[in-house]
Homo-oligomer: A and B are copies of this chain.
């Protein structure tokens, strides 16, 4: 418990909620008649409203990106390493907006929310969303906050896909686009891992076809397995080896199926169980589907150069050497297309042992490169 928050922290923050009554049409053909978005802001919007930065979150993220909700919080927001005074996203310069995406389970309207049509939780009836849908909902949030143009839209992983989509969907409303540890679309292997996670949830008897909430049930096993698989893909083989090796949990082997023999098993089980107690299974399905569906070039016969042609933003693309979920090669696809499309692009490939998770970890070269790019942005 920090009695005084660290100097480079945004300190105590509170989520806010905005209610939207204009129906939001969705890629699936359905629409959300009305919805709420929960968000946080850090820093101060300047008089010209030219210093606003949007943070887009990844699969299991939410609006609480930086600072503390109470003096008792043991941990700050999920990207506190990069947001705050003196950090890459410097809150002395920028006004930072961070929301929980639609379909989430942290306050924004999602499968766990009350369906006005039935009076019960949406559950499986919540529409499937796409990255484009999120970007449209984020544009409405910008409207509501009086932000006509973002100084930057920034995201890692699935968040990077939203940043990229912003540059395509709203070229006039984004000056800088930062795409970190991301990809222009999923590979077959990426989709395959998502499919395993979905099958784990869908086949859990406690899932009840997505209406578990009405039944007072939670598909914990499915969520646990989904998270365990996910975690393997977030870490690098070497990173996992360095962290856990083949360290035994106890001094000797147990020779049974139930005991935890190796530290890595203990870690994965803990991560899985902890996650299954706090995350919504329908939201997890929805997030993996948004990942699978993301393929902005599909509308241009797979031509990413043509897809990015309308963009007017400057770009910063960052990848990490041992990220095998979205490897540097995937970031280079984006960079190559941007160069070909004659956009301004800065590319940082960071050496890191931390795999995909590296985008959350403040390694020196990452923080330095990220900071320098952000410092250059005129507001």
Contact = CB atoms under 8 A, between A and B. Distances in A.
A245 B127 CA distance: 26
By secondary structure, the A interface counts as helix
Given A185-B246, A199-B225, A262-B292, A192 B232 contact: yes
Interface string A220-243: 010011001101100101001101
A377 interface: no
Contacts of A261: 292-293
B199 A224 contact: yes
A268 B187 contact: no
Contacts of A142: none
B265 A192 contact: yes
Interface in A94-149: 124, 127-128
Interface of A: 27-29, 124, 127-128, 185-189, 191-193, 195-196, 198-200, 202-203, 205, 210, 221, 224-225, 228-229, 231-232, 235, 237, 240-241, 243-246, 253, 255-258, 261-262, 264-265, 268-269, 272, 285-286, 289, 292-293, 295, 324
19 contacts: A124-B257, A128-B257, A187-B237, A189-B235, A189-B237, A192-B231, A192-B232, A192-B240, A195-B264, A195-B269, A196-B268, A198-B257, A199-B225, A199-B269, A199-B272, A200-B225, A255-B289, A257-B285, A261-B292
